[in-house]
Structure 1
Amino acid sequence: MFGGGRAPILVLSQNTKRESGKKVQLENINAGKQIADVIRTCLGPQAMLKMLMDPMGGIVMTNDGNAILREITVQHPAAKSMIEIARTQDEEVGDGTTSVIVLAGEMLAAAEQFLEQQMHPTIIIRQYRQALEDMVQLLEGPLSKPVDRNDKAALAQVVKGCVGTKFLGKWSDLAVNIALDAVNTVLLEENGRTEVDIKRYAKVEKIPGGAVEESQILRGVMVNKDVTHPKMRRYIQNPRIILLDCGLEYKKGESQTNVEITGEADFTRMLEIEEEHVKRQCEEIIALKPDVVFTEKGGLRFGAAFSTQSQHYSNKACSIARACGATIVNRTEELQESDVGTGAGLFEIKKIGDEYFCFVTECKDPKACTILLRGSSKDILNETERNLQDALQVARNIMLSPRLVPGGGAIEMAVAQRLLQKATHGPYKALAHALEIIPRTLAQNCGANTIKTLTALRAKHANHSDPNTPCTWGIDGETGELVEQDKKGLWEPLSVKLQTYKTAVETAILLLRIDDIVSGSKKKGDKEVPTPSQIQQQEAQGAE
């Protein structure tokens, strides 16, 4: 009862559908399993591609879990929740989107048997939470190892493990070098804090044509613009660069501005004011003797001591500022010598394909870079960019949290083995077995005998005697054979695995807690259903 009055009423119209109890939980589990089945074949080096067709006729071919789930359309609310976790995983750590969906689907399936045995979902959830806490302790403790951020060979092995399962795996060495160089370039350490903002300062430019091998990373910034006048210089060494967030033109009034002209002298004076304004802007810039001027909009259409001007977006301006040491200025009146960027070694205009590009490169200490991707078609370029973004995120994760775990399903089997030793309840044990879906799927995707391989892998982990080190036996994603991942050099960032397990378990718990789905839609011509307060008011009027 609320406030001594009548209890709230759940009002359902004739068009409202309501399902509750065990039926809803089993439907949610089934929806999660179906989403996991869609992308199960996209895990590992032998992953299959999915061809996605949008309503406009566009086609995307990819094995990236997040890209696939972003394109498909589902109706069931539980399936929408599963798609959302892939997006969360991608935004947080940039990798592991396929793994998190496969794991979440298997964890939901593991709970199904207990619901059919009339076990209350709260008991299952409690055991799942306990298992997650134990997993986090194991991963942050004996099952992971630290890595030196300055050991480029060790870092390259980790990034290669991420790229090797994707389309870009054929050019993995090139992708690894680009990813590590980009992250090291934009790495910023100040006040004891490490910042790696690859989304803002490691820009990817895709130019169709050429081969993937021609892709490169520039120690500076590239802009898809040409100079505004043919007589302006196209090659300058050690340029002085000015960045203006304003147009180099006279700012006219708004559409509501009224100007009254009574004679020819008034019109002439208006033109003189405009000319004086532009002349003053130019004199303020010329006083600093720049070689290159980047402006936000407008143009320099007259003879001036500038080499180029380029229309540009603000995020590009930020990258140029970081690369050459310039400061973005909003008004020419505020220009000072300290705002001029002198950190760039070379400015040049190049023609690639049919377009002209402006390069600001050979910077002394660039904190921004541009990754130039080449490829035979737009589809290949888009898939290359998706794969490279994953590699960049993995390299970033290692820089921020330099701890590693063995890949190829080894860490999942090691965690499962430790959890099974502590298991006392059914759901806890079932969650431990659910982790084995990763090595099982890797074996399936490369055509190995799943039962034989999993049995042999369990035996390897059961015989591992040292509790302070992880057993590194896992699946070779290429052949399906058992290999020691430390000898093969296949490691994954700890932060990716932690986020994968946390997201998968929390999603399974969230969907298991749902015991009621109410959805209603009002059709045209239906009578409006009264609210509880309206019902009370009608009853009071009837009593009077």
Structure 2
Amino acid sequence: MVRKRATSYDAFAPRIRTGDRLQALFSSGSPTHTFIRASFGNTRVAKMMGPGQVPILVLSQNTKRESGRKVQIENVRAAKMLMNPIGGIIMTNDGNAILREITVQHPAAKSMIEISRTQDEEVGDGTTSVIILAGELLSAALPFLEQNMHPTVIISAYRQALEDIITILKEKVSTQVDVNNVEQMTDIVKSCIGTKFINKWSDLACKIALDAVKTVCIEEGGRKEIDIKRYAKVEKVPGGAIEDSCVLRGVMLNKDVTHPRMKRRIEKPRIVLLDCNLEYKKGESQTNIEILREEDFTKLLEIEEQYIQQICSDIIKLKPDIVITEKGISDLAQHYLMKANISCVRRVRKTDNNRIARVCGATIANRTDELREEDVGTKAGLFEIKKIGEEYYCFITECEDPKACTILLRGASKDVLHEVERNLQDAMAVVRNIMLEPRLVPGGGAVEMAVGHLLTEKSKSMMGVQQWPYRALAKALEIIPATLIQNCGGNTIRALTALRAKHASGEGYNWSIDGETGTIVPTAELKVWEPLVVKLQAYKTAIEGLRPVVRGSGLGWGAIPFGGGATAVPPRGFISVLLLRIDDIVSGSKKKDKGDGDQKPAPAAPTEESMKD
């Protein structure tokens, strides 16, 4: 093995440009390997060229690299734990949660992350599937771009395929579901969370998701409205066990009453909600008052007390039991309200105040003199303050017809609670999607194989060059069942061929891949179903999201030079430029050697594609 070292880029460059030096670098007495190592300030480049492969590594001198079985074992132990830029730990297998923590520079990669975010915002599930599908569709389009097929033709074929997919899913593959059938709804939610952290407590998660969504569901004029994000709040309290989690038909706040002598438990309370201060009103800008006499100062204090007394009188005349405001409450106002046997909670979030108004029937007032009897909430059954751990929590529960709820999560640590919350959000999104659109499609790769088979059959009757991207899209859909087979260790080729034959034989579309054994089973036996809207959104997002990537004809890419000697850390984007510089140097030296007839020709320089690999 021949090893050459250089301490800087300038020292290395003349050696690699010289023909005899280049031959010495690339030649070796060993018939199997040639190893070159060079240092560029704070970056080192290691190349090992052997028969059949050319791995190239560009690493910082301070970088620690491990490989082999040790890395595999550490990956298993890591259990999908990530560390964000500020040092926080994220333990998740949610596709969107992982992609949110990835920092990328290339616009195409950012577009892929945006696809996952859109899928999560629209339907709350299928974030991993849409990324896998989008990546495979890009790979399917690559050969046509290399053959100089116009991107408009590819996009047109993909859009035609999308229209056919929507028609197939709605008319041939999907089935109706009864949203009032609790057992069937539970099976659907279980298939959603089957691979997630909360799978061990699937029965509890299904019950929580169903109860929460049914609580916040409002039907007016034949149209359902389900706003999970606004009215189904998750409160995470470390401690206890996950089995202690529950759905509260009301509101839970991390607040305590403002005065220790105020009541901490009230049955059937009358609640007043405010969006104003219960203290002396301050000026909008800086105000200066000149006082020449002592009695003037006393007069100002009296005016302030009279104002506080007046706003408290406006509240007391309605005889409420609880006053909740989004702003502050002065000590004097607390005194007057406590004397009137009224409990107070201050500095409540606007979103929490809206949920309280929804569960107790109150109207939020901006001024105390505008309060009326009909603004008082009377639908709550119980108000109480409880201490959980080291914190005090306010509970407003046992409401007559709550249209908002609070999901109380208990767990061993905050990291566990964050993952449980993400899983529950997915479960609630599935229930919401089914209640808004009660149609299902078979899961386990069945719908992809069915749609792919029908698209392939239709492509045989198409004319023109659009049939080839159209057929490639149909083939790309098989990446979903293929991934399921790979994940369970099955034989991908045999299982995929058998599944393709099942769907082509006319035996129906309900043949799926068992994610544990890799065998082909009926969907009804596997009990794996997916909401129709999730699949429709996944296909729409994946195909429409590829348009700017495929049609993009230019890319501006800049590198920022860095300084500071050997200890300077190169910014993002410089490593890619550095790779091209090395390739240009080696390629240029190779061209120079071609003119020397008496010298042995050097091996082919590594290409840019091999460097990226």
Report if TM-score (shorter chain) is over 0.5. yes
Are 1:165 and 2:195 counterparts?
A: yes
Q: Contact 1:50 / 1:68 at 8 angstroms: preserved in 2? A: no
Q: Which of the residues 220, 224, 235 maps onto 2:265?
A: 235
Change (3 A) 1:252 1:507: closer
1:193 is displaced (CA, Å) by 2.4
Structure 2 equivalent of residue 363 of structure 1 = 399
Which secondary structure state, in structure 2, belongs to the residue aligned with residue 464 of structure 1?
coil
Which secondary structure state, in structure 1, belongs to the residue aligned with residue 395 of structure 2?
strand
1:487 is displaced (CA, Å) by 2.7
Quick one: which amino acid aligns to residue 225 of structure 2?
A: E
- Mean Cα deviation higher: 338-347 or 487-496: 487-496
Are 1:416 and 2:449 counterparts?
A: no
Are 1:96 and 2:126 counterparts?
A: yes
Q: Contact 1:202 / 1:370 at 8 angstroms: preserved in 2? A: yes
Name the CA distance, whole Å, in 1 between partners of 2:369 and 2:442: 58
Deviations 1:362-417 (A, max 9, x none): 11100000000111001101111111111111111111111111111111111111
Which secondary structure state, in structure 2, belongs to the residue aligned with residue 373 of structure 1?
strand
Quick one: which amino acid aligns to residue 444 of structure 1?
A: Q
Structure 2 equivalent of residue 192 of structure 1 = 222
Change (3 A) 1:232 1:439: same
Q: Which of the residues 182, 206, 223 maps onto 1:176?
A: 206
Are 1:336 and 2:372 counterparts?
A: yes
- Mean Cα deviation higher: 410-419 or 154-163: 154-163
Are 1:516 and 2:554 counterparts?
A: yes
Which secondary structure state, in structure 2, belongs to the residue aligned with residue 381 of structure 1?
helix
Quick one: which amino acid aligns to residue 105 of structure 1?
A: G
- The TM-score normalised by the length of structure 1 is 0.84
Name the CA distance, whole Å, in 2 between partners of 1:455 and 1:519: 43
Q: Which has the higher contact order (CA 8 A, sep 6+)?
A: 1
The aligned length equals 474
Q: Which runs of 5+ in 2 are unaligned?
A: 1-75, 461-466, 563-613
Q: Which of the residues 279, 290, 307 maps onto 1:277?
A: 307
Structure 2 equivalent of residue 501 of structure 1 = 539
1:120 is displaced (CA, Å) by 2.6
Name the CA distance, whole Å, in 2 between partners of 1:92 and 1:254: 41
Q: Contact 1:221 / 1:323 at 8 angstroms: preserved in 2? A: yes
Structure 2 equivalent of residue 349 of structure 1 = 385
Quick one: which amino acid aligns to residue 411 of structure 2?
A: G
Q: Which of the residues 501, 504, 520 maps onto 1:462?
A: 504
Structure 2 equivalent of residue 307 of structure 1 = 343
Name the CA distance, whole Å, in 2 between partners of 1:522 and 1:366: 57
Q: Which of the residues 514, 517, 523 maps onto 1:479?
A: 517
1:313 is displaced (CA, Å) by 0.7
Structure 2 equivalent of residue 7 of structure 1 = none
Name the CA distance, whole Å, in 2 between partners of 1:391 and 1:363: 25
Which secondary structure state, in structure 2, belongs to the residue aligned with residue 154 of structure 1?
helix
Which secondary structure state, in structure 2, belongs to the residue aligned with residue 311 of structure 1?
coil
Structure 2 equivalent of residue 387 of structure 1 = 423
Name the CA distance, whole Å, in 2 between partners of 1:68 and 1:493: 23
1:521 is displaced (CA, Å) by 7.6
How is 1:198-217 mapped onto 2 (pairs within 5 angstroms)?
198-217=228-247
Which secondary structure state, in structure 2, belongs to the residue aligned with residue 516 of structure 1?
coil
Structure 2 equivalent of residue 112 of structure 1 = 142
Deviations 1:112-131 (A, max 9, x none): 22233333322222221111
Q: Which of the residues 157, 174, 179 maps onto 1:149?
A: 179
Name the CA distance, whole Å, in 2 between partners of 1:366 and 1:258: 49
Q: Which of the residues 438, 442, 445 maps onto 2:487?
A: 445
Quick one: which amino acid aligns to residue 234 of structure 1?
A: R
Structure 2 equivalent of residue 397 of structure 1 = 433
Which secondary structure state, in structure 1, belongs to the residue aligned with residue 257 of structure 2?
coil
Q: Contact 1:128 / 1:509 at 8 angstroms: preserved in 2? A: no
Change (3 A) 1:81 1:232: same
- Mean Cα deviation higher: 386-395 or 296-305: 296-305
Quick one: which amino acid aligns to residue 437 of structure 1?
A: I
Name the CA distance, whole Å, in 2 between partners of 1:241 and 1:118: 70
Name the CA distance, whole Å, in 1 between partners of 2:559 and 2:300: 62
Q: Contact 2:247 / 2:405 at 8 angstroms: preserved in 1? A: yes
- The TM-score normalised by the length of structure 2 is 0.75
Deviations 1:117-162 (A, max 9, x none): 3333222222211111110100111110122222222222222211
Which secondary structure state, in structure 2, belongs to the residue aligned with residue 442 of structure 1?
helix
Name the CA distance, whole Å, in 1 between partners of 2:388 and 2:165: 51
Structure 2 equivalent of residue 64 of structure 1 = 94
Q: Which runs of 5+ in 1 are unaligned?
A: 1-45, 525-544
Name the CA distance, whole Å, in 1 between partners of 2:316 and 2:507: 74
Q: Contact 1:50 / 1:62 at 8 angstroms: preserved in 2? A: yes
- Mean Cα deviation higher: 478-487 or 198-207: 478-487
Name the CA distance, whole Å, in 2 between partners of 1:419 and 1:304: 76
Q: Contact 1:233 / 1:308 at 8 angstroms: preserved in 2? A: no
Quick one: which amino acid aligns to residue 544 of structure 2?
A: E
Q: Contact 1:244 / 1:331 at 8 angstroms: preserved in 2? A: yes
Change (3 A) 1:522 1:460: closer
Larger radius of gyration: 2
Name the CA distance, whole Å, in 1 between partners of 2:559 and 2:242: 52
Which secondary structure state, in structure 2, belongs to the residue aligned with residue 52 of structure 1?
strand
Structure 2 equivalent of residue 130 of structure 1 = 160
1:288 is displaced (CA, Å) by 1.0
Structure 1 equivalent of residue 40 of structure 2 = none
Quick one: which amino acid aligns to residue 501 of structure 2?
A: A
Deviations 1:474-505 (A, max 9, x none): 11223322221223322111001000001111
Name the CA distance, whole Å, in 2 between partners of 1:426 and 1:510: 20
Quick one: which amino acid aligns to residue 176 of structure 1?
A: C
